[in-house]
Amino acid sequence: MASRPAARGSARDRGATRIADRVVAKIAAQAAREAAGPDPKGGSRPHAQVVVHRDIARVAVSLDLDYPSDIARRCGAVRGRVRTRVEELAGMEVHEVTVHVEHLHSALTRQGASRGRLT
């Protein structure tokens, strides 16, 4: 006679899943990449730092952007996408997303630099 599996309790009774901060940071960086668009030529990929406390995340994203562009609009898109993806994929509330633009990359500056001068 086969034994029956023990009855399972509610999810709360079974335990909890903890998602490492570095995993949440990777989710945030990928979301920033998706929202900001292609990495500027000569720029670095977005990276993120997170602080998680009781399923509430605070996220700081650093990225490079092309210039000229609508920087405020692009940063707003990054904030929204990061918040949405972390909430969807990690199941956490996101109370804060700060965006640090580390460098602005201009095609004109790159062209001038390749000829030995800046424009």
- The CA–CA distances, whole Å, from 95 to 13, 34, 90 equal 27, 20, 14
Q: Which CATH class is domain 18-114?
A: alpha beta
- Rounded Cα distance, 40 and 28, in Å: 19
Task: Tell me the pLDDT tens digit for each residue of 36-84.
Answer: 988 888 889 999 999 999 999 999 999 999 999 999 999 999 999 999 9
How many percent of the chain have pLDDT more than 70? 78
Query: Mean of the pLDDT values across residues 112-116?
Result: 52
What single-letter amino acid sits at 114?
A: S
- The CA–CA distances, whole Å, from 85 to 10, 19, 32, 50, 94 equal 26, 14, 10, 14, 10
| pLDDT value at 31 more than 80 | yes
- Rounded Cα distance, 48 and 78, in Å: 12
- Rounded Cα distance, 9 and 81, in Å: 35
Residue 87: what pLDDT?
97
SS3 92: coil
Domain boundaries, the chain: 18-114
Q: Are 32 and 59 in contact (CB under 8 A)?
A: no
